[in-house]
Structure 1
Amino acid sequence: MNNSQSNTPAYSWALVAMLWVVAFLNYFDRNLITSMHDPVVADFKLNDSQFGLLTTMFLLSYGVLSPLGGYFADNYGRKKVICFSVAVWSAVTLWTGFVGSFHEMLVARVVMGLSEACYIPAALALITEYHHGRTRSLATGLHMSGLYVGLALGGLGGFIAEYWGWRHGFQLFGLIGVAYSVVLVIFLKDKPMPQSNSNTETKSSNLFQIFKELFAVRSFLVLMFYFCVLGIVNWLIYAWLPTFLKDHFHLGLGEAGISATGYMQIGSFAGILIGGLVADRWSKINERSRLYVVIIGFTIGAPFLFLMASTHLLLLAIAAMIVYGLARGFNDANLMPILCQVIDNRYIATGYGFLNFLSTIVGGLMVYAGGMLKDAQIDLSVIYQVSAVLMLLASLSLLLVKVQTQKLSSE
């Protein structure tokens, strides 16, 4: 495929389709383990804190490398970083299916985190290069829907563990990912840049100078706070919701795993379509449209997260998960487009990588803390209620973000 072909509208959407598969594998592979709580704990004789540590170590390594992953994508090409990331984490997924001890699994989770950290900043930056104002939120949201499907089907880990053993899922999807990385090497293309850009723009090779420029933008600091809270809430949901539903509503392991991921992802998928389309169209007349869509989403959705944690009626909890998922879809369709309006586009992957770093480090620590609190007999419902209040406050803080008009006019 030559440069002219990769610069067509058709390829712009083909790119989203290719990366959708990667996004699916990204979240499916990392979240298989969360719905396999009981067999993994029994196999390695773990307590809940140790099981939580598996996700925490993944998130810590994922977070630490995220800024560097974004920096590599900004300076050495999105395609190289994406292909490398997919190949390595898929190989590690395969390895996880053969680990012989808890400590070996910890090492595998760390390596998986390091390799997956490079993907999201590079992929979202590549998508926003191919898609501008009229399609940016929708394209970003459609890509993020791959994460939702990965999360939703990751709940199948409970059924896989019940019928075939917990190792088989890691072995199968590890092989699939390794094969797909070869497909990406052949068909994925970096965005052909106009010749004039190379003469007028230079990319800094100094990571610390880039961070200095980012931290000088007040709106970026607001986004840092928002991402931290988002990371706390998201990862408490990813890691502990199957266990919460199993204990709170007396569900089986497989049913809890599917319920924890499936219903929320249904809402999220609707959210990225509605939130993406609304924000793209609204942006024609209001440069703050993407911010407002996110704020509206969580102003409605956060109280429903609180309701999910408070009710003892399963049907009401399901409805609450769907509504909260809708709000999360509004968010995921618009976060990267918002960042494109706040910071220099030359550093967009680095900036997103740093925000990812903050959210995953804080989120990872809270996953471990959630296990400790559960061991201390503190109900997960209380943890989710507090999370809902924090999410509402964080979304309202986005009112302080100032977008740069020239970013919109250039689109």
Structure 2
Amino acid sequence: MSPPSNAVRYAWFVVALLFPVALLNYLDRQMLATMKASMVGDIPTIANKADWGLVLGSFKWTYALLSPFAGYVADRLGRRYVIAASLFVWSAVTWWTGHVTTFNELLAARALMGISEAFYIPAALALISDYHPSSTRSRAVGVHQTGIYLGQILGGFAGYMADSPDHGWRWAFSTCGMIGVIYALPLLALLRNPERPAETIAEKADKVAHGGVVRGLLTNRNFLLLVLYFTLPAIAGWVVRDWMPEILREKFSLGQGKAGMSAILYVQLASIVGVVLGGSLADRWMRRSSRGRIYASAIGMTLFLPALFSVGNAGTLGIAIIGLIVFGIGWGFFDCNNMPILCQITRPELRATGYGIMNLVSISCGGFGDWAFGALRDRHVPLNMIFGTFAGIALLSVFVVLLIKPNEEKPAPKPAA
């Protein structure tokens, strides 16, 4: 039986409301990478690449450490308030980033942004999954993730804004911060938390048997496998996102604007194609097999292998861009199915917490990857060796995801009045 039309419309309305939030979430992050040269030139206390890696890592480490707590808060207090508050606070911090003058201030601003942004993604993806049934869940998450990719694309053009004598990197941060602060108010008014369906006797017994959050998640074999799968490819993903503008700028002697555009535009447009294809394939595959999302995600991961090899060994900008396009398609397949797979192996009231734990492990490793990449490049380790290692990790990830055994999914709840 199909859900009522009003419920379907509101389910997609939730995605539409969160789309610009996702865009701002990653625009605010990506601008830092593409405006690096201007910021380093304007803040002389940033001494070397390792210092810049520490700036990138400070965001990830605070984001990661707060993610499980943020997910727990969203599961207990409701997604709506957590989402709106997160947007408001991180946007205020974005505005402040445009006014920092020292390395330590920038480090503190990125750490505070990591704390505030940690509350958004687990709550947002859990809310979307609450409203969307199995038949549309991967596509709905994919549409939301498209907002993330568009935010990264706009962030890729921020290098041109940084080079502009009429604007500059400070104007970019201040403007984006003000937009987010203003949008948080109507977002709070329009979002609603879903009604939880009444639990059956069997569900209550299962909840008692599996205990609380720690026991319900950390003793779940399938969840631990998903955490590992979520983490391994993300290390390469963070390095591509944070360091690729600088890699292309140095390797091919590009300007800051063109390097940022080349590093971000193609991979994110390809990711949009990936979430459309990967989400549609996964939702269709689920009609025939409960492992449909797992198979679709594994296909995306196999695309990482040639992509990372070509990026690491590219002798021309064109070859590097082709590798980034293939990487983006694979990332889209991977990205739109992580929360839907989580929904198949955990109870609804544990999903935001579960995704927060996934973020904790994944982004902590991503922060270490950012720092390690900068340190390795300071020591002139060849790019092909670094990205070849990433390709080997991606191959391991394919085997990990295929070990996950999903459960059957239940219908989506109606919105609360």
TM interval, short-chain normalised: over 0.9
Distance (whole Å) between structure 2 residues aligned to residue 230 and residue 81 of structure 1:
28
Aligned CA RMSD, in angstroms, stands at: 2.3
For the 8 Å contact 1:61–1:111, the answer to whether it is kept is: yes
Distance (whole Å) between structure 2 residues aligned to residue 410 and residue 125 of structure 1:
12
* The 10-residue stretch of structure 1 (388-397 or 349-358) with the greater mean CA deviation from structure 2: 388-397
Shift in alpha-carbon separation, 1:409–1:96, aligned structure 2, 3 A: closer
Distance (whole Å) between structure 1 residues aligned to residue 23 and residue 282 of structure 2:
24
Q: CA deviation at 1:235?
A: 1.0
Distance (whole Å) between structure 2 residues aligned to residue 372 and residue 7 of structure 1:
54
2:311 to 304, 308, 312: 308
Residue type matched to 2:106 in 1? M
Which residue does 1:240 correspond to in 2? 243
For the 8 Å contact 1:35–1:158, the answer to whether it is kept is: yes
Following TM superposition, the consecutive aligned residue runs of length 4 or more in structure 1 with deviations greater than 3 angstroms are 197-204, 408-411
* The 10-residue stretch of structure 1 (248-257 or 76-85) with the greater mean CA deviation from structure 2: 248-257
Q: CA deviation at 1:30?
A: 1.3
Which residue does 1:347 correspond to in 2? 350
- 2:107 is the counterpart of 1:122: no
- For residues 63-92 of structure 1, the C-alpha deviation after alignment (integer angstroms, 9 at most, x for no partner) is 000001100010000001001100000000
Shift in alpha-carbon separation, 1:202–1:408, aligned structure 2, 3 A: closer
For the 8 Å contact 1:6–1:12, the answer to whether it is kept is: no
Q: CA deviation at 1:374?
A: 1.3
Which residue does 2:158 correspond to in 1? 157
- 2:253 is the counterpart of 1:254: no
Give the unaligned 5+ runs of structure 2: none
Distance (whole Å) between structure 1 residues aligned to residue 205 and residue 89 of structure 2:
30
Which residue does 1:298 correspond to in 2? 301
Q: CA deviation at 1:316?
A: 2.2
Residue type matched to 1:317 in 2? A
- For residues 205-248 of structure 1, the C-alpha deviation after alignment (integer angstroms, 9 at most, x for no partner) is xxx94122212111111112112212311111111111111122
- 2:320 is the counterpart of 1:317: yes
3-state SS of 2:184 partner: helix
Which residue does 2:61 correspond to in 1? 60
Residue type matched to 2:19 in 1? W
Which residue does 2:142 correspond to in 1? 141
For the 8 Å contact 2:233–2:390, the answer to whether it is kept is: no
Which residue does 2:373 correspond to in 1? 370
Distance (whole Å) between structure 2 residues aligned to residue 7 and residue 327 of structure 1:
34
3-state SS of 2:346 partner: coil
Q: CA deviation at 1:391?
A: 1.5
Which residue does 1:401 correspond to in 2? 404
Shift in alpha-carbon separation, 1:151–1:183, aligned structure 2, 3 A: same
Distance (whole Å) between structure 2 residues aligned to residue 178 and residue 15 of structure 1:
19
Give the unaligned 5+ runs of structure 1: none
Equivalent residues in 2 for 1:321-336, closer than 5 Å? 321-336=324-339
Distance (whole Å) between structure 2 residues aligned to residue 143 and residue 297 of structure 1:
18
- For residues 281-301 of structure 1, the C-alpha deviation after alignment (integer angstroms, 9 at most, x for no partner) is 110111101000111111123
Shift in alpha-carbon separation, 1:409–1:94, aligned structure 2, 3 A: closer
Distance (whole Å) between structure 2 residues aligned to residue 389 and residue 408 of structure 1:
36
* The 10-residue stretch of structure 1 (52-61 or 149-158) with the greater mean CA deviation from structure 2: 149-158
Which residue does 1:385 correspond to in 2? 388
- For residues 14-39 of structure 1, the C-alpha deviation after alignment (integer angstroms, 9 at most, x for no partner) is 11011111000000001211011111
Residue type matched to 1:300 in 2? L
For the 8 Å contact 2:133–2:411, the answer to whether it is kept is: no
2:196 to 193, 196, 206: 193
3-state SS of 2:287 partner: coil
Alignment size in residue pairs: 404
- 2:183 is the counterpart of 1:180: yes
Which residue does 2:30 correspond to in 1? 31
3-state SS of 1:251 partner: coil
Shift in alpha-carbon separation, 1:157–1:202, aligned structure 2, 3 A: farther
Shift in alpha-carbon separation, 1:6–1:33, aligned structure 2, 3 A: farther
- For residues 342-369 of structure 1, the C-alpha deviation after alignment (integer angstroms, 9 at most, x for no partner) is 1222201100110011000110011011
3-state SS of 2:345 partner: coil
Distance (whole Å) between structure 2 residues aligned to residue 116 and residue 324 of structure 1:
25
3-state SS of 2:35 partner: helix
- 2:268 is the counterpart of 1:265: yes
Identity of aligned residues (%): 42
Distance (whole Å) between structure 2 residues aligned to residue 311 and residue 115 of structure 1:
37
Q: CA deviation at 1:7?
A: 5.8
Shift in alpha-carbon separation, 1:141–1:399, aligned structure 2, 3 A: same
Distance (whole Å) between structure 2 residues aligned to residue 140 and residue 201 of structure 1:
28
For the 8 Å contact 2:130–2:412, the answer to whether it is kept is: no
Distance (whole Å) between structure 2 residues aligned to residue 6 and residue 72 of structure 1:
31
Residue type matched to 1:334 in 2? N
